[in-house]
Amino acid sequence: MGWYYWYMHEETAQSAIDTFISAFNASDDAYVTGLLSQALTSDVLFWGPLGRSEGIEAVERFVLDIRRHPAGAGTMERRSAVDMPDEWARYEWVFTTPDGGPRLTGTDVVHLRRSLIDQVIVFAGEIKPADSPAARPN
């Protein structure tokens, strides 16, 4: 039963994550709230580039801001498998603006409660290797 439970739990997480990501790529802003409601709890905690916020409305504002990128509406994609130890999951993503313009990559860590994401922690950018000058302590 252990491996089956883990597999089903990971599939549920992947479904919620993919639905969350699809909100960034919705054909119309009007669909964003519905997609987020299928993926997130109403009291979701969102730790993003601008700090901590709470609730689907806060995540919706973030998603809509990304959709209105100055370079044009881009595409958000999950670029890794979902790695899920217990109720926490992580995955890598990439955001690309139209015509292959500026790209932003990162890793999200999410927590799931009853098949929905109740916490999102966004890490934008690549992590520097341990031997890089930026990673060395002063």
The CATH classification number of 2-125 equals: 3.10.450.50
Contact assessment for residue 71 and residue 101, using Cβ atoms and an 8 Å cutoff: yes
Q: Which two tokens stand for residue 44?
A: 């979701």
Query: What is the Cα–Cα distance from 35 to 18, expressed in whole angstroms?
Result: 10
Domains in the chain: boundaries: 2-125
Tokens standing for residue 129? 């290797």
DSSP string, 67-120: HT-TT---EEEE-SPPB-STTEEEEEEEEE-GGG--EEEEEEEEEEETTEEEEE
The pTM of the full predicted model, rounded to 2 decimals, is 0.85
Structure tokens given for 111? 């927590």
Compare 23 and 127 and report the one with higher pLDDT: 23
pLDDT in tens, 95-129: 998 877 768 899 999 999 989 999 999 998 887 88
